[in-house]
Amino acid sequence: MITTGALIHGQREKLLRFDGSEHPVALQLGGSEPDELARAARWGEQAGYDEINLNCGCPSERVQRGAFGACLMAEPDLVADCVRAMREVVSVPVTVKHRIGLDRDESYDFVVRFVDRVAQAGCRVFIVHARNAWLKGLSPKENREIPPLRYETVYRLKRDFPGLTIVINGGLRSHHEALAQLEHVDGVMLGRAACDDPWLLSSVDSLYYGAPDPFALRHEAIEGVRSYLSAQVSEGVSPRAVLRHLLGLFNGLPGARAWRRTLSDSAVLSAYGAATLDQALMRTLRT
């Protein structure tokens, strides 16, 4: 997620840069000014992104001060204007990620009015976190855990808007749970679960798309990351920025602690750079 302000006033090319192996990749924008979002969306499409997503789900107070994120759900007309402005300048899909309510108001009318209004502006894909966003008193982490999950609300949205693509998000920790959701909605977003256990993604191709999985073993996945890591480091990216996504790769297996400690050790990262991956693998195998 990148704010419109960062793209307008910051190092735009650096912020939008990504590797071709990441396709398909979406650019999530944070903002609430239609004109600024349109500019940012156009830059995103020119940079090669496959989708532009508007953040209407982040509940952090810092994001609220920027007048975007979950607080935008209280202004469906403004969100509709933002979506319309972006769609007018890009040919890639413009999608919205949002919650099912704000604070402790669990009225279905609130979320259905939001979806209806934004759909009228041309948005066809909604990624729905099946929790309310409590705008005061909870940290972003607590907002992912404390507001109760209400999957039925998301199912009801799909029943009431059969022509829209409804993707469910929130609290899903396994493929068993995720696949069960496809009986009710069009898609599933795995967020925190994929961060905690990246190996979970290794079987997505076969389970969801009937295609061969890219790697059969974790060691094969590591080899797949090696060239990417070297290329990123050669461009000035910190190895930590890449390797932190692999911290949970061996979770639940012998050597997991050594793997995590090596990849997060500042001294090792400084000394070995891209070769930190080799150091971590050697120490993991040794345990």
**Catalytic residue from among 56, 58, 82, 123:** 58
The residue to which tokens 């979970």 are assigned: 200
284 phi and psi angles, rounded to 5 deg = -70, -45
**Active site (annotated) includes residue 58:** yes
Say if CB 52 and CB 29 are below 8 A apart: yes
CA torsion 3-193-19-260 (nearest 10°) is: 110
Say if CB 119 and CB 80 are below 8 A apart: no
122 phi and psi angles, rounded to 5 deg = 110, 0
Q: Tokens for 195?
A: 């961060």
Say if CB 215 and CB 202 are below 8 A apart: yes
Q: How many residues are there in the chain?
A: 287
| Those residues with Cβ within 8 angstroms of residue 87's Cβ, 6 or more apart along the chain or in another chain | 94, 121, 122, 123
Say if CB 114 and CB 78 are below 8 A apart: no
Residues taking part in catalysis: 58
